[in-house]
């Protein structure tokens, strides 16, 4: 078959829970297509990703659907979604991290123009983002969420200025 290489992911549901062993059998059944699979947390479905050579994305979908329908491992699965992407684009996406860039108090201090000690007090503010990771060195926060919070906060670095009290008459 001539054409381009595509990565096709078929999402599926089942009426009975799938055992991990069944998922490994599915991967083995599609091994020649570079298969990988994932199981839903509840075990009632998952996804299968395979490589297909086809002239177009629609043809890649058709080929993958026929292959999935003919699979002997999952004879009672219903297709709940499908995704297709050119293999080269999929490789580029796989190089990107799957998690957000995170920052600790030192970076938060630099981002907001305050001391590290002051930045460590920010979590007491109700609108401050929640940590995305807890480590033994301390919590880590999404850099994007902290930047958005700091932009809305609009505070300037340093101590707030004290309000000047106007002189009273007759004093």
154: left (phi over 0), alpha (psi -120 to 50) or beta: left
SS3 73: coil
Instruction: Please check whether residues 56 and 106 belong to one and the same domain.
Output: no
Residues 30 and 65 in one domain: yes
- The answer to whether residue 24 sits within a structural domain is yes
Residues 124 and 87 in one domain: no
Q: Evaluate whether residue 165 is within a structural domain.
A: no
Which of 66-70, 72-76, 119-123, 155-159 shows the lowest per-residue confidence on average (mean pLDDT)?
Answer: 155-159
Q: Are residues 108 and 88 in the same domain?
A: no
Do the domain assignments include residue 131?
A: yes
What is the overall mean pLDDT for the chain? 87
Domain end (from 47, 62, 94): 94
Structure tokens, 137: 């060195």
Q: Which of 75, 94, 113 is the last residue in one of the domains?
A: 94
CA 85 to CA 87: how far, in whole Å? 6
- The answer, as to whether pTM is greater than 0.75, is no
User: Which pLDDT score is estimated for 82?
Assistant: 95
Q: Are residues 33 and 72 in the same domain?
A: yes
Taking phi first (over 0 means left), then psi (-120 to 50 degrees means alpha), and beta for anything else, what does residue 113 get?
left
Domain CATH for 50: 3.30.70
How sure is the predictor about 69, in pLDDT bands with cuts at 50, 70 and 90? confident
pLDDT digits (tens, 9 = 90+) for 117-137: 999 999 999 999 999 999 998
> Is residue 14 domain-resident?
yes
| Claim to verify: residue 75 and residue 109 sit in the same structural domain | no
Same domain, 83 and 137: no
- Which pLDDT value is given to residue 156? 57
CB 62 within 8 A of CB 56: no
Neighbour order of strands in the sheet with 133-135? 102-103, 138-142, 133-135
What is the spatial distance between Cα 163 and Cα 50, in angstroms, rounded to a whole number? 66
The number of domains in the chain is 2
| DSSP code for 86 | E
What's the token pair of residue 75? Answer: 């004879």
CA–CA distance from 155 to each of 80, 161, 170 (Å)? Answer: 48, 12, 37
Report pLDDT digits (tens) over 34-66.
Answer: 999 999 989 899 999 999 999 999 999 999 999
64 and 14 share a domain?
Answer: yes
Residue 118 lies inside a defined structural domain of this protein: yes
What is the token pair recorded at 167?
Answer: 């002189």
Mean pLDDT check: name the lowest of 69-73, 109-113, 151-155, 163-167.
163-167
Question: Residue 53 belongs to what domain range?
Answer: 4-94
Q: Tell whether 163 is covered by a domain.
A: no
Quick one: 88 and 109 in the same domain? no
């Amino acid at each position: 078959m001539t054409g381009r290489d595509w990565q096709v992911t078929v999402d599926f549901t089942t009426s009975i829970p799938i055992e991990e062993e069944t998922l490994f059998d599915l991967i083995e059944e599609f091994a020649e297509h570079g298969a990988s699979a994932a199981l839903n947390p509840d075990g009632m479905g998952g996804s299968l990703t395979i490589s297909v050579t086809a002239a177009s994305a629609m043809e890649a979908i058709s080929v993958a659907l026929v292959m999935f329908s003919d699979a002997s491992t999952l004879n009672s699965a219903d297709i709940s979604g499908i995704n297709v992407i050119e293999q080269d684009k999929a490789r580029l996406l796989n190089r990107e991290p799957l998690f957000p860039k995170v920052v600790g108090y030192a970076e938060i201090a630099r981002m907001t123009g305050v001391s590290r000690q002051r930045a460590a007090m920010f979590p007491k503010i109700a609108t401050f983002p929640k940590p995305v990771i807890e480590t033994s060195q301390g919590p880590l926060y999404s850099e994007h969420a902290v930047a958005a919070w700091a932009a809305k906060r609009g505070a300037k670095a340093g101590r707030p200025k004290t309000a000047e009290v106007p002189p009273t008459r007759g004093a």
